[in-house]
Amino acid sequence: MFQMSFSTFRERWELFVGAILSVAVGVALVQASMLVLVATGDPRVPPGLSRQAEDKVREGFVGAATVMGMTAFLAVFLAVFIVSSTFSFTVAQRRRDLALLRLTGGSRGQLRALLLSESLLLGLVGSALGVPFGVIAKYAQTWLLVEIGLLPDGFTAPWRLWAVIVAGVAGVGVALAGVFTASLRAAKIRPLEALRETGEAARAMTASRWLFGLSFAACTIAMVVWAQGANLIGAMMAALGISVFGAVAMSLLSPLVVPFMAWLFGILVPGSTLVDLAQANLRDGVRRSAATASPLIVLVSLLLGLAGTFGSLAAAGGEEAKRSVNAHLVVTSTGEEAERLPGIEGVAVASRQNTVDIAITVEKTQNKRVITRNFYTGIIAVDAADYARTHTLPPSAGSLDALTGNTVFTGPARHADRIDPGRVLAADVGGQPLELTVVGGLPETLETGDSFLVPRQALPRQVWAGAPTETVVQVAPGQDPDDVAERIEQAGFGQVRTVSGWAITRAENAQDGNVEILTVLMGLAGLYALMAVVNSVVIAGTERRREFAVSRVTGLTRPQVVRTAVVEATAVAVIGLVLGCVVAGAGLLGIGGAVHKAIGATVVAVPWTLIMVVAIGSVGIVAVTSGITASIVTKERPVSLVTTKE
């Protein structure tokens, strides 16, 4: 039996190379993500940094760990999805061979054993190749994380044997699991199918495809509905879930859409014989079309879904920031300079917010152990009255009126830490100990926000005088904000912005960070999915040698055959794109609902540029790949393929 596998491998290596590569790259990604994830859990802060910089590095590590956790999750999902769809596609493509095996006396058990042992072998080879690939992937991920500033220069993720073993075992396991259902299906192939010239077209929509497709679709819809009432972290997780579940649902149900798309395609594209043939091929090869579209659906829904989610959150954060400030202008300066702002003509209120370099210690009891955490960043010195007049975000506990003397207010960033009013926090103000009583707190916001608000009067002047300061300015009634802005600029202030301009900049900065994070998340994973797209196009093309030969002896020229294949592949790519966009749209619907609940306005950012890039890129790649494949497989003289039946 293995002899047959081995000779099939020599004969139709594209089928097996595709499967091996899908395992190898999957193992590489999982292994690299795990290694980097584990290394980020043990932050090593470079020596000689200020406390604030150290804090920033630590925060970066936490951020990197979150990103890598998501990357690892995506890598596992993609590996499972791509390997199983590649393997089941290769089994479907060998249907006639397998029927022949049954005809010559192969039992169902032997067929299953053959496919499972084949996939075990492919899994082992793929995993073995995946380990060195993983080293490259690890460097690529580390480089990306350092490049976007989440991790400090010189960060390395040490080699750990267990991660390699886990990824390798997962690779073999995924290969076996991937082929398992396909082998059950293959065992049902009747020997008679070998006698049919074209092979009995396997039903594209099997019972299990219906069952799983509808279940995943139902889960996706449930998550969209649930996200409407969820908080933002929940909505983000739901968005990821919607992308993943929706992509699986759409790939499973895509055979239902193919005939419809073929029909639509026939209407949109003016009829020519070639287009008609491509359209008929699309309809006839539903299983093949669906298998080619699958990885594209996943790629598009993940990429656009995540980009849309991050983009919407950033835009919503900007919108929320704008809404939470009841003022006209934002001026950036030092604390000392900002003291002059209230005196400028037309300024009604100037809420100076100095980012001060002090430390606040929070003790937390967890599992009967006292955990001490020092905060150095996000500590803002304010005048409570001015702050209250210019900010609309109502406190979740206490009142800003009480923020006088040695007190402290928790900011949105610390909301989740549940530091209740009445507690006393130790502070280190330029070496002087200070005790601050918590008098209230602000609720969570879309943006992380500040950690603590401290009354400026409680701090010595030298602490805030040189601190970077943002002053939120309310213009006096009857005054034109533009005039006031001009006066402030004339008074020597460099950076004066309108509140909406300031909010937009914040959203843009957040969006820049998002793009970087998305690059880490989807960079390698996207390449993996793209590889799977190319893979399925190549497999689908090479398996059609005889069909192409028949077209040629029917009267088509070689370029016409290639063109038909390209038209067909393009249509399949469009199907994948559209279905992927539907999933991404569902993700946006979810996040839109959650944002509406959080800030009272629906803010959704549709990543149009990315959609265009992905659309042009994926259609282009699919078209080029299918063109190249079709011209390679039509090299042989058609008559030699048509007459020899084997």
Partner 1 sequence: MSWNQHLTAGSRQGLPPSGYPAVELQQVTRFYGSKNTGVAALDNVSLSCPAGTWTAIMGPSGSGKSTLLHCAAGLDQVTRGRVLLAGRDITTAPDGVLTEMRRRTIGFVFQSFNLISSLTAEQNVAFPSKLAGVRVSKSEVRQVLAGVGLADRASHRPRELSGGQQQRVAIARAMISRPAVLFADEPTGALDSNSAKMVLELLRNMVRTVGQSIVMVTHDPAVAAGADTVVFLADGRIVDRVDMPTIRDVAERLTRLES
Task: Enumerate binding residues for partner 1 (CB under 8 A).
Answer: 1, 3-4, 7-8, 10-12, 97, 100-108, 110, 190-192, 194-195, 197, 643-646
Closer residue to partner 1 (CB): 8 or 406 = 8
Closer residue to partner 1 (CB): 56 or 108 = 108
- Beta bridge partner(s), residue 407: 437
CB of 180 to partner 1, least distance (A): 20
Closer residue to partner 1 (CB): 6 or 143 = 6
CA–CA gap between residue 170 and residue 181 (Å, rounded): 17
Class of residue 245 by CB neighbours under 10 A (exposed 0-12, middle 13-18, buried 19+):
buried
Tell me the three state secondary structure of residue 473: strand
Output the DSSP codes for 334-391. Answer: EHHHHTTGGGSTTEEEEEEEEE---EEEEEEEETTEEEEEEE-SSEEEE-HHHHHHHB
CA–CA gap between residue 217 and residue 246 (Å, rounded): 6
Closer residue to partner 1 (CB): 108 or 323 = 108
- Opening angle at CA 135, ends 125 and 161, nearest 5: 75
Residue (of 104, 132, 102) closest to 115 by Cα position: 102
Answer yes or no: are the C-beta atoms of 4 and 49 closer than 8 Å: no
Measured from the Cβ of residue 465, the count of other Cβ atoms closer than 10 Å reads 17
470: enclosing H helix or E strand: strand 468-475
Please name the residue ranges forming H helices in 232-285: 232-268, 273-284
CA–CA gap between residue 534 and residue 486 (Å, rounded): 58
Q: Which residue has the tokens 């089994």?
A: 91
Q: Which residue has the tokens 């968005």?
A: 239
Closer residue to partner 1 (CB): 15 or 356 = 15
CB of 525 to partner 1, least distance (A): 35
Print the SS3 string covering 8-37: HHHHCHHHHHHHHHHHHHHHHHHHHHHHHH
Tell me the two tokens of residue 633: 């497989």
CB of 296 to partner 1, least distance (A): 30
CB of 203 to partner 1, least distance (A): 16
CB of 7 to partner 1, least distance (A): 4
Output the DSSP codes for 494-521. Answer: SEEEEHHHHHHHHHHHHHHHHHHHHHHH
Closer residue to partner 1 (CB): 69 or 191 = 191
CA–CA gap between residue 25 and residue 82 (Å, rounded): 10
Closer residue to partner 1 (CB): 12 or 58 = 12
Closer residue to partner 1 (CB): 110 or 519 = 110
CB of 81 to partner 1, least distance (A): 29
Tell me the two tokens of residue 27: 């193992």
Closer residue to partner 1 (CB): 108 or 340 = 108
Exposure of 365 in the CB half-sphere (CA atoms within 13 A)? 1
Residues in Cβ contact with 284 at an 8 Å cutoff, skipping those fewer than 6 apart: 201
Sign of the C-alpha dihedral computed for residues 616, 618, 619 and 620 taken in this order: positive
CA–CA gap between residue 244 and residue 539 (Å, rounded): 25
CB of 280 to partner 1, least distance (A): 24
- Beta bridge partner(s), residue 330: 472, 497
CB of 229 to partner 1, least distance (A): 49
Closer residue to partner 1 (CB): 110 or 156 = 110
Tell me the two tokens of residue 223: 């998550």
Residue (of 244, 137, 149) closest to 531 by Cα position: 137
Closer residue to partner 1 (CB): 108 or 283 = 108
CB of 199 to partner 1, least distance (A): 12
Please name the residue ranges forming H helices in 543-557: 545-554
Closer residue to partner 1 (CB): 7 or 273 = 7
CB of 10 to partner 1, least distance (A): 7
CB of 642 to partner 1, least distance (A): 12
CB of 5 to partner 1, least distance (A): 9
CA–CA gap between residue 524 and residue 161 (Å, rounded): 22
Sign of the C-alpha dihedral computed for residues 477, 478, 483 and 488 taken in this order: negative
CB of 107 to partner 1, least distance (A): 4
CB of 194 to partner 1, least distance (A): 6
Closer residue to partner 1 (CB): 153 or 197 = 197
Closer residue to partner 1 (CB): 11 or 482 = 11
Tell me the three state secondary structure of residue 427: strand
